[in-house]
Amino acid sequence: MTDSTAPERSRSLPPGPPYPRALQTLGWMRRPGPFLERCRERYGDTFTLRIAHEDCWIVLSDPDVVKEVFTGNPATLHAGEANAILRPLLGDQSVLLLDDEAHLVKRKLMLPSFHGERMERYGELMREIAEREIASWPRQQTLALLPQMQALTLEVIMRAVFGVDRGPRLDRLRALLRRLLDYTMDPRTLVPLVLLGPERLAFIPQLRRVFDQVDLALHEEIAQRRQEPGLAERDDVLSLLLEARYDDGTGMSDQELRDQLMTLLVAGHETTATALSWAIERLVRHPDKLQRLRDDVAAGSNEYVDAVAKETLRLRPVIPIVVRQLVEPMEIGGWALPAGIRVAPCIHLIHRRPDIYPEPARFRPERFLESPPGTYTWIPFGGGIRRCLGASFALFEMQVVLGAIVTHARLRAPVSAGERVRRRAITWTPSRGAEVLVEADDARAPNERTAATQPQAAEAVSA
């Protein structure tokens, strides 16, 4: 790690809090949103933070400057290197951790699985899983939705990735993944993460044991699938990846496959579950919006549910920043930045700009009915050639699941105060896990009960 406190270098960096790294880390960990907002007020749209074992972050919250990063040369702006914190979990070959040619090649192989017609075929599956899950929710009591949403989105991504839902190997893998994620996302894990750094985290014996078990389960699944006939006819992601070929005719090794599967399973479910939980947390505190959503879905439209998903991801982005590491010096936003520094387009701050989003703290899905999101002003999925590979899949899943929830359950806020943002490792989640009061089924008006039994318009929902 370079000495970011060297006086000649700090002079060339944008201003930032003058207090010690430990205090900045505390602000970032405890109340990240207000901390970032205070920094912007004090130091402007571009400022420097010093967080834990990370080198300096140059936080960016001007869309024009963010555009410079997202459209900049990927050979200079390395995302893989900047995502090193995820290496122990995802593995060296993960598309999230690679840069340059290796990244592009893997991304190209994976992209088709999550786009267009192929992705829309998951709609029926998503709705089925959502309806089954909703039917199991206990009525007339308070329920934290986040764990329910995690179970639901894990099921969706596992079915999309492996193509089947039954079998002892997958049941075991499902249970192991939950254990692994509960452990790695636990805010208490942040303490060793901050103290040890990501590379050494994997050597904690308790964590190592779960990692090893998950690895074994994934390798067993890959080996089994390799031997199965008719791979070309299957359309699950694992089969597609097994069939995919690089330009030289070779396929992915088992280790590469393991890392991509792990990446999709982790990136694909915790994030979407959190976004869904926030959507409900906001909706139950805005009964007029909830009612409008219910009416719109019952009328077979997907317009409002799309706006709700987008507004939720604006106001409560699951991931607050994305990071790129400069491989060589680069001028960004008028600052001549040295190699080695990390630039961080700040999703949270961009989404809170009053010049782009009037009354930015207000939950108002209508704003996305009035004008579509901008490429550099609505960035919950990051941007450029690193933009989230599952963005369409996630938006589609949010639409289908929210549609199913408002059709099949009556929810209320148990208390009027909204939930605060709580950090679960790298995601920002509702502090009480999105608690809702699930009313008895007969709390619905008779005409709504009839509507709920009608086939929904999810086929028409497009991402």
- List interacting residues with ligand HEM (CB under 6 A): 79, 95-96, 107, 114, 263-264, 267-268, 271-272, 275, 318-319, 322, 380-383, 386-390, 393-394
* Nearest C-alpha neighbor of 133 from the set 121, 120, 146: 146
User: Please, what is the minimum distance in Å from the beta carbon of residue 241 to ligand HEM?
Assistant: 12
Strands (E), 32-122: 46-50, 56-60, 77-78
User: Please, what is the minimum distance in Å from the beta carbon of residue 309 to ligand HEM?
Assistant: 8
380 CB-near residues (< 8 Å, 6+ apart): 275, 313, 314, 317, 318, 319, 347, 351
10 Å Cβ neighbour count for 318? Answer: 24
Choose between 24 and 94: whose C-beta lies nearer to ligand HEM: 94
User: Please, what is the minimum distance in Å from the beta carbon of residue 304 to ligand HEM?
Assistant: 18
| Cα gap 321→82, rounded to integer Å | 12
Q: Which two tokens stand for residue 19?
A: 């207090």
Choose between 46 and 263: whose C-beta lies nearer to ligand HEM: 263
Question: What separation in angstroms does the CA of 139 have from each of 45, 142, 143, 400, 440?
Answer: 47, 8, 9, 22, 5
Q: Which two tokens stand for residue 181?
A: 């994620």
Burial class (CB in 10 A: 0-12, 13-18, 19+), 138: exposed
Choose between 51 and 322: whose C-beta lies nearer to ligand HEM: 322
Choose between 145 and 267: whose C-beta lies nearer to ligand HEM: 267
* Whether 190 contacts 423, CB under 8 Å: yes
Q: What is the CA radius of gyration of the chain?
A: 22
User: Please, what is the minimum distance in Å from the beta carbon of residue 452 to ligand HEM?
Assistant: 26
| Cα gap 66→56, rounded to integer Å | 17
Question: What separation in angstroms does the CA of 368 have from each of 48, 61, 64, 354?
Answer: 32, 21, 21, 15
Choose between 55 and 441: whose C-beta lies nearer to ligand HEM: 55
Choose between 146 and 452: whose C-beta lies nearer to ligand HEM: 146
Positive or negative, the CA dihedral 105, 107, 108, 113 is: positive
Choose between 368 and 381: whose C-beta lies nearer to ligand HEM: 381
Positive or negative, the CA dihedral 226, 269, 365, 65 is: negative
| Cα gap 139→347, rounded to integer Å | 36
Choose between 157 and 452: whose C-beta lies nearer to ligand HEM: 157
* Nearest C-alpha neighbor of 270 from the set 105, 161, 151: 151
254 CB-near residues (< 8 Å, 6+ apart): 219, 222, 223
* Whether 58 contacts 343, CB under 8 Å: yes
User: Please, what is the minimum distance in Å from the beta carbon of residue 272 to ligand HEM?
Assistant: 4
Buried b (16+ CB within 10 A) or exposed e, 385-414: ebebbbbbbbbbbbbbbbbbbbbbbbbebe
Choose between 181 and 318: whose C-beta lies nearer to ligand HEM: 318
User: Please, what is the minimum distance in Å from the beta carbon of residue 255 to ligand HEM?
Assistant: 17
Choose between 119 and 293: whose C-beta lies nearer to ligand HEM: 119
Q: Which two tokens stand for residue 69?
A: 């990063």
Choose between 337 and 346: whose C-beta lies nearer to ligand HEM: 346
User: Please, what is the minimum distance in Å from the beta carbon of residue 273 to ligand HEM?
Assistant: 9
User: Please, what is the minimum distance in Å from the beta carbon of residue 303 to ligand HEM?
Assistant: 19
User: Please, what is the minimum distance in Å from the beta carbon of residue 285 to ligand HEM?
Assistant: 20
User: Please, what is the minimum distance in Å from the beta carbon of residue 89 to ligand HEM?
Assistant: 13
User: Please, what is the minimum distance in Å from the beta carbon of residue 387 to ligand HEM?
Assistant: 5
| Cα gap 283→159, rounded to integer Å | 28
Choose between 386 and 423: whose C-beta lies nearer to ligand HEM: 386
User: Please, what is the minimum distance in Å from the beta carbon of residue 319 to ligand HEM?
Assistant: 4
* Whether 457 contacts 306, CB under 8 Å: no
